A and B are shown apart, each in its own frame.
With several copies, the nearest count.
Chain A
Amino acid sequence: MLYSDKVMDHFLNPRNLGTIDDADGVGEVGNAKCGDIMKIYLKIDNDIITDVKFNTFGCGSAIASSSMATEMIKGKPVDEALKLTNKAVTEALDGLPPHKIHCSVLAEEAVQAAIADYRTRNGLPTDDIPSCNGCCGGCHSHDHGHGHDEE
C-alpha cells in the first residue's frame, strides 16, 4: 500500500488540528502552487510549547507529517523542538514513499518557521534557525520518473 498504517492513522485522525487565535508563534511554509501548505500555531510558556495546532493544505502525507510533527513537539522546550528533523518525522510515521519525503521536510520547516516567528515577536535571536525559502525543496526537485505513474 502507498502509506504505512501510522501515516493513515495520522491522516485520518490528525492530532492537534485547528488554529490558535492568540498564538505566540505562527509559521507557514510551502505554497499552493506546489500543492502543499502547512501552517503551525504555537502557544509557548516559559520556553515550553504548551499547545500546538496546525492547518494543512496538501496530500495525505503532508497532513500526516503535520500531525506527527505537532505531536512530537508538544510539551517540549523550544530548543528541543528546533531539533526536530524530517528524518525523525518520517521514522515516527514508519516511513514515507520516496517521493513524499518532502512532506516531512515541510513539517520540519513549518515548526522552525513558527519558532522563528515566536522568537522574532519576542526579540530573541533566530540565527540558529535555518531560513526557509517558503517552499519545500521537494517541489522543484521533483523529476519525472520516480514513481510518477498514470493510467
Chain B
Amino acid sequence: MGYIYADNAATTKMSRHAAEVMLGVIENNYANPSSLHTPGQLAAVQLAESRQAIAEILNCEPREIIFTGGGSEADNQALLSAAAIGQRKGKKHIISTKFEHHAVLHTLQKLEKQGFEVTYLDVHENGIVRPEDVKAAIRPDTVLVSVMYANNEIGTIQPIRAIGAICREQGVLFHTDAVQAVGHLPIDVQADNIDMLSLSAHKFHGPKGVGALYARKGVALTSLIEGGAQERGKRAGTEDLPAIAGMAAALQDAVRDMDANTARVSALRDRLIEGLSAIPHSTLTGDREHRLPGCASFCFEGIEGESLLLLLDQKGIGASSGSACTSGSLDPSHVLLAIGLPHEVAHGSLRLTLSPENTPEEMEHIIQAVTDVVAYLRLISPVWNDLQKGIKNYVIQ
C-alpha cells in the first residue's frame, strides 16, 4: 500500500482538472487583466467568468466577491472591515467563539488591543455553538458576529443559518469562516443569512495562495493591501488569474460532485470512527452527527499526539494532531480545550481528514496502525502506567 494521505483539512492535493485549468491560463492567458490590449482583455474576461462561477455557487452577485491571497487574508479583511464599520458607528463589541481558527482569533486579539470588546462564546462538549447563546450575547453596541461554518480540528458543523437569522433580525453583521466548509457542504449566502464569508481554494482541491471574501452589497470593505484598483479598490495587486481560474474550476467540480463525494467520504469516515472507537479509553472529539464528511478526530488517553503522528508516518500514514503544528507537545489545541477536554487528554489527539481519493482498504490499515501505535505508546507512557495502576483516574472511560 502506498503512503496514505489523511490530512486533507491541512491541505488537499490539487485536482487534475484544476491543475490543467491553471496551466492553461499560465500558458495561454498570462496577460494582466488591467491591460487594454486583447491579451489583457481576454484575461479580464476569464477573471470575470471565474468570479461569476463562484458567485453562482454561493448564490450572490459577482461584485460581492473579492479575490484574496487565501483564507487567512479573507478572515482578516472581514473582521477589520466590520471593525471599521463598528468604529464609525460607535459599536465596538464583537461576538465570536472560543474555537475559531487563529486567523480569526489573532485578528480579534489585535482588535481588543484597539479597544474592541470581544465575547468568545462557549462551544460546549459537542463543539457546537448554540444560537441562543449568540442571541443572548448580542448587545446594542455589537457590530459583528463571527462564527466558523465548520471547525478545522474536530469538524463540527455550526448552525449557521439559525445564527445568521438572529444576526439579521438584530441588525448585526454576520461573518463566517467557511474555509473548511466551502466545496464540502452546501452553502447559500442568501438562505444562510451570511453577510461575509471567507473561503480558501486549497481546502477543496484547488490551488494554494488564493481565496475569496464574499461581502454582501452594502458592507463596506476596508482594504488590507493598498495600491492599484484591482478588486474594486479593495485588494490591490496584479490578479493571480491562473490560481483564480483554478479555484473556480475546483469549486465547480466540488459542488457538482458533492453528493457523491459526501456519500463516499462519510462512509470511510464512519468506518474509521467505528474502528478507532474500539480502542479503550478513546473518544471521538466533537459531535457525532454534525461533522464534516471527511473528518474523524479522536483523543486517546495516556499518550501524546506528536509521537503518535510520527509513528503513524513511519507506518505510511499522514495525519495531524489538533491543527498541524510544529510546536510539538507544548500547547494543546485551543479547540480541544474549548470543548472541555483537560490539557493532558487534549495532548493525545489525532485528526484524520479524508478525501474521495482515500479507499476502504486504507481505512482498515489506518485502524490497525493507530491501534498498534496507541498500544505501544501507552506501554512506554508513565501516565498510562499510573492510570492502569489506579494512581490516577481515567478521564475518558
Contact = CB atoms under 8 A, between A and B. Distances in A.
Q: Taking the complex as a whole, does A directly touch B, i.e. does some CB pair lie under 8 Å apart?
A: yes
Interface of A: 1-2, 11-12, 14, 17-19, 28, 31-39, 55-63, 97, 99-100, 102, 138-139, 142, 144-151
Contacts of B310: 11, 60
A57 B347 CA distance: 10
Contact of B324 (A11, A62, A139, A150): A150
A149 B236 CA distance: 9
A151 B152 contact: yes
A55 B328 contact: no
A60 B328 contact: yes
Contact of A63 (B35, B307, B314): B307
Given A11-B310, A149-B33, A150-B228, 7 more contacts: A33-B344, A39-B385, A57-B302, A57-B304, A147-B232, A148-B326, A151-B323
Interface in B26-42: 32-36, 41-42
Contacts of B324: 149-151
Contacts, number: 137
For the complex of A and B, 9 pairs with smallest distance between CB atoms:
A35-B329, A32-B344, A149-B34, A59-B306, A145-B233, A59-B329, A39-B382, A59-B328, A151-B10
Contacts of B211: none
A142 B32 CA distance: 23
A17 B380 contact: yes
Contact of B32 (A17, A18, A148, A151): A151
B228 A35 contact: no
Nearest to A102: B330
A128 B265 CA distance: 60
A23 to B, nearest CB: 13
B36 A2 contact: yes
The B interface is mostly helix, strand or loop, or mixed, namely loop
Q: Counting chain A CB atoms within 10 Å of each CB, which of B35, B324, B330 scores highest?
A: B330
B304 to A, nearest CB: 5
Interface string B376-395: 01001111110000000000
Contacts of B314: 12
A57 B381 contact: yes
B105 to A, nearest CB: 11
Contacts of B347: 32, 35
A145 B229 contact: yes
A37 B303 CA distance: 10
A144 B381 contact: no
